[in-house]
Structures are given as structure tokens and as C-alpha cells.
């Protein structure tokens, strides 16, 4: 199951996410999403857990928990909504 983790402190790394979620079971991946130009964290990430029961336990335990003064949002990731690509339709 793919898990969305939001409202992360900007100092959190992939390894930090791995450490937190590994307490609940095996992880396939853990990634903090970063701005492709600056490399700065965007404040959210994703964790992939092969076992749905482990993922459910992690979501229940970590949602709204405190991490470095920020309340995390943890839930099952939903597919990204299709957005139209910019085609220069703005004003000049």
C-alpha cells in the first residue's frame, strides 16, 4: 500500500521516514518529495509498505502524531488527479 505523509517538517529526510515507518513492518520505499530546482523538501512524502495490515497500523498510529512540532497527516495515497498541462493560455 502507498501511504501519503503530509505536513512534514522541512528538515525530514528519506531516512527519517524509513526509521519512523519501519517500526510497523517492512518497507518497499520511503521518499520525501523535493522541489526539482532547489532541492528543498515540499513538506510531504510517500511510503510504500507491502503489507496492507502493517500499512493500516502505521496510518492509525502516525496520523495526527507530532513530529518536530508539526502534526502529521498520514493516509492511504490516492491517485493524482489529471491536470491539464499549461499551453500558454495566460496573459502576456
Which pTM value belongs to this model?
A: 0.85
Greatest alpha-carbon span in the chain: 52
DSSP-assigned letters across all residues of 7-48: S--TT--HHHHHHHHHTTS--SEEEEEE-TTT--EEEEEEEE
Can you give the residue ranges of every domain in the chain? 11-33+46-64
- pLDDT tens, N- to C-terminus, the chain (92 residues): 999 999 999 999 999 999 999 999 999 999 999 999 999 999 999 999 999 999 999 999 999 999 999 999 999 999 877 766 665 555 55
Strand 2-6 versus strand 73-76 pairing type: antiparallel
Query: Could you identify the residue written with the cell 520511503?
Result: 30
Amino acid at each position: 500500500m502507498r501511504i501519503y505523509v503530509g505536513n512534514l517538517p522541512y528538515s525530514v529526510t528519506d531516512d527519517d521516514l524509513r526509521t519512523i515507518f519501519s517500526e510497523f513492518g517492512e518497507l518497499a520505499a520511503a521518499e520525501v518529495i523535493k522541489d526539482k530546482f532547489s532541492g528543498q523538501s515540499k513538506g510531504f512524502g510517500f511510503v510504500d509498505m507491502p503489507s496492507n495490515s502493517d500499512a493500516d497500523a502505521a496510518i492509525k498510529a502516525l496520523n495526527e502524531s507530532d513530529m518536530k512540532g508539526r502534526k502529521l497527516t498520514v493516509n492511504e495515497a490516492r491517485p493524482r488527479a489529471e491536470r491539464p498541462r499549461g499551453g500558454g493560455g495566460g496573459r502576456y
